[in-house]
Each structure stands twice: as C-alpha cells, then as structure tokens.
Amino acid sequence: MENVQRKPGFKQVCVWPACVVGVDKAAEFETFMQENFKVRVQYLEEIKTFPDTKMGVTVPETGGRNDLFFAVHNDDVEKFAIPRLQAGIRWIEDVLASCNYHCMIYDERVHDYKSW
C-alpha cells in the first residue's frame, strides 16, 4: 500500500488517534472540520496500529487502534495549531518522533507523510 497523494496546498499531516470515519464519509469529515474548526482538510486514510513491543516482544492487548490521517491546508495550519489539541489531534512529526514511541506502530511508509 502507498500513501495517499496530498492535493496541492495540503502539506501538514495530522493524526487523530482512535478516530473512525470511513472512506465513504470522507467528504462529510472534511465538511465537519470546516464547520467546527474553520479549517480546510483533506482526508487521507485510516490506519490500524501495530501492537506495541517491549524488548522485541509483542505487548498483549495492544495494537489494532484505528487512527485517522488527514492533511490541513497550508493557510490554515497556524490557526489550527491550538484548537486541534483539545480534540487530541497531533502533527505527524510529533507522532513519529522517536522520543514518543519506542516501537513502530505504523508501517514505515507513514514517515513519508512528514512535511519537513
């Protein structure tokens, strides 16, 4: 599987952990974000997390969480920076930072979503 191509002007990718939308509801999600956060977004995909590992051993009852990936329009990133926190939405760069996760919970390809 490959990453979803971002439309021009949608550079910053966000992750909304434990959020289920469904590709068939992508347009409704984009409208929801416009109405509630006043930002333009592009629905990208939803990814199930891999299980956590500790010292190379899978941690029971972890993984399988549905995380939503979407991109924010470049002109809306600044005004979305604070409001997103109340909903638990994170920048992709923060999610993938090695200091936040000691194991990979997403496929390696997700790193290509980073905007820098």
How much is the pLDDT for 103? Answer: 66
CA 28 to the chain's CA centroid: 17
Mean pLDDT for 48-61 is 87
Q: What is the mean pLDDT of the chain?
A: 93
Residue 3 or 55, more confident: 3
For residue 80, CA distances in Å to 3, 14, 30, 39, 51 come to 23, 11, 14, 7, 30
Q: Specify the pLDDT at position 100.
A: 67
| Tally: H helices and E strands in the chain | 4, 6
